[in-house]
Amino acid sequence: MHEHLSDVELARYANDPQSIPAERRRFIERETGRCATCRTSLDFLSVMSEEELAEVELGEEAGVDWRSSDEPMTALLHRIEAEDRAADELLAEMKLLSSPAKMAFTDVHRDRRLLTGGVARRLAAHAHQIHEDEPLDAVTFADAAIVIAESLPEDAYPRKAVYEVRGDAWKERANALRVAGGFPSALEALTHAERAYRNLESPAFGLASVALVRAGVLLEQDRLGEAAALAEKAEMGFAHLVQEERRMRAVFLRGSITYKAGEVASAVKLFEQVQEYGEDVNSPRWIGRASYAIGNCEVDRGNLGEASLQFHRALVIFREIGPESERLSAEWGLCRVVLHGGQPSEAIRRLRAVAAEFEKCSMITLSALVWLDLAEVLLALGETKQIAEIAARLFQLFKDAGMMTGALTAVAYMKEAAAAGKLTADGVNAVRTYLRRSSSRPELVFEPPVEPFR
């Protein structure tokens, strides 16, 4: 069974991280990065004053049993631990964490056992744990956490710490909506989270977290200038708080924004920082994500040998630890290397396989983007009949998935233009650009290029 970090050690880390040996400090950063329970405890401890945290540390060093102490802060930590333990038992008994559907149909207002800070914290932590792979389920758990957190009285904890619970719940709703593509709702949730955090006496950690998530949403909406400013703000905030794991999230996001802005050389430098951090703390996920990002940059710079090395490094990692989407993305990157290396036949074979796998995993938009890469290769080879067949397949795929009218219009345009022998590379790129943007901006209307036909 996984053993969580103690609140005493987390309190010391929050108070004075440099007092902890470097190797142990990196271990704490890894644990709080991957364990939702430890991360939630650290988030709560981060808003306490240095004096209060020091009381916990000094009590331990003096041989005091902080769990039985009558001191207000140690009593609070004991209470939180008891609440979280009770929440774990209750949620396991009700089997709520394992059943998003049951959670969705549970009226938390009617079951007073659920109306505790411990349950709110555990639901928010679970939402964070699953938001990348199951964003809609994460929204369900975050919404339940919000209902509970908002029902708690303002004086539920000293120093208005209930606002930490509320802010975290709203932030996790935003995180999940960002992945699910609900960007306006995500921004609205972040407004609630920020408002909650500002009620704290030490709001820096919460506000840095809000800035990071908001930057991610704005990136998806192509608001690159605003996103870059917020990502940098988040990085500075986490650096001040000595939160290296979270600072790397901000650095990686800055790299993604910079890459999307076309500043490839600068993006590589940022991604290399993340890669080095992953190596320092022995984090395969950070190494894999950074390697994949660098690979994309090197393809754009024409450094195919380096790109291939980076994609292979990422692929080995994601084959072992997942998720499937990142493994397939690394495979897709290698397809680009093969294509740019002048092997169109091999690229076609590989692109077909990757597109089919994305489709099998119900990653419809990613599958479509790979099919469009394939269409561009076929266009260069004059194989317009095959492009029309791909467009017909995409049209049916989108229709079955209930995709928006604009996506259907875009692929219908490509099918008709290919069948007429009048499709151009600009036409394929117009469809690709639309599909990328419309996933985050459903109000967009597809517009063919000014001169779509030859």
pLDDT tens-digit readout, 360-394: 988 899 999 999 999 999 999 999 999 999 999 99
Q: Which of 128, 137, 102, 165 is nearest to 35 (CA)?
A: 128
The pLDDT of residue 256 is: 98
Per-residue pLDDT tens digits for 64-90: 443 344 456 667 777 888 999 999 999
Question: 444 or 380: whose pLDDT is higher?
Answer: 380
CA angle 290, 313, 317 (to 5 degrees): 85
pLDDT, tens only, 124-166: 999 999 998 889 999 999 999 999 999 999 999 988 999 999 9
Give the model's confidence band at 62: pLDDT under 50 very low, under 70 low, under 90 confident, else very high: very low
pLDDT value at position 438?
Answer: 83
Each residue's pLDDT tens digit, 307-323: 999 999 999 999 999 88
pLDDT of residue 297: 98
Q: How far apart are the first and last CA of the chain?
A: 65
Q: Is the pLDDT of residue 60 over 70?
A: no
pLDDT tens digits for 162-213? Answer: 999 999 999 999 999 998 888 999 999 999 999 999 999 889 999 999 999 9
pLDDT of res. 70: 44
State the pLDDT at residue 437.
Answer: 85
Residue with tokens 């754009």, as numbered in its chain: 300
* DSSP secondary structure string for all residues of 32-94: HHH-HHHHHHHHHHTTS-HHHHHHHHHHHHTT--GGG--SHHHHHHHHHHHHHHHHHHHHHHH
Residue 443 within any structural domain of the chain: no
**Is the pLDDT reported for residue 445 higher than 70?**
yes
Q: Flag whether the pTM goes above 0.85.
A: no
pLDDT over threshold 50, residue 453: no
Q: What is the pLDDT of residue 317?
A: 97
What pLDDT score was predicted for residue 34? 67
| pLDDT at res. 287 | 97
Whether residue 265 is predicted with pLDDT greater than 50 in this model: the reply is: yes
**Residue 22 falls inside a structural domain:** yes
Query: In this predicted structure, what is the pLDDT of residue 122?
Result: 95
pLDDT at 454: 45
Report d(CA 47, CA 172) in Å as an integer. Answer: 18
pLDDT in tens, 295-354: 999 999 999 999 999 999 999 999 999 889 999 999 999 999 999 999 999 999 999 999
In a domain, 122, yes or no: yes
Is the pLDDT higher at 404 or at 122?
122
Instruction: Please state whether the peptide bond connecting residue 344 to the residue before it is cis, i.e. omega within 30 degrees of 0.
Output: no
pLDDT score, position 316: 97
pLDDT in the model for residue 37:
66
Range of the domain at 115: 1-155
Question: What pLDDT, on the 0 to 100 scale, is given for residue 451?
Answer: 59
pLDDT at 2 > cutoff 60: no
Q: Please give the single-letter amino acid code of residue 159.
A: R
DSSP tally for the chain: helices H, then strands E: 22, 0
* Structure token digits, residue 240: 């001040």
- Taking only the tens place, the pLDDT of each residue in 97-115 is 999 999 999 999 889 999 9
Mean pLDDT of 15-35: 78
Residue 72's pLDDT is 61
User: Which tens digits make up the pLDDT trace of 220-261?
Assistant: 888 999 999 999 999 999 998 888 999 999 999 999 999 999
- Chain-centroid distance of CA 206 in Å reads 17
**CA 433 to CA 438: how far, in whole Å?**
8
- Tally of structural domains, the chain: 1
Within a domain: residue 62? Answer: yes
Distance CA 417, CA 428 (A): 10
Is residue 311 situated within a structural domain? no
In a domain, residue 445? The reply is no
Residue 64, pLDDT score: 40
For 197-234, the three-class secondary structure string (H helix, E strand, C coil) is HCCCCCCHHHHHHHHHHHHHHHHHCCCHHHHHHHHHHH
Mean pLDDT, rounded, for 39-64: 55
Tokens for 245, please give them. Answer: 């794991």
**More confident of the two residues 413 and 405:** 413
- In sequence order, the 6+-apart residues with CB closer than 8 A to the CB of 320 are 284
Domain assignment of residue 24, yes or no: yes
**Domain annotation covers residue 380:** no
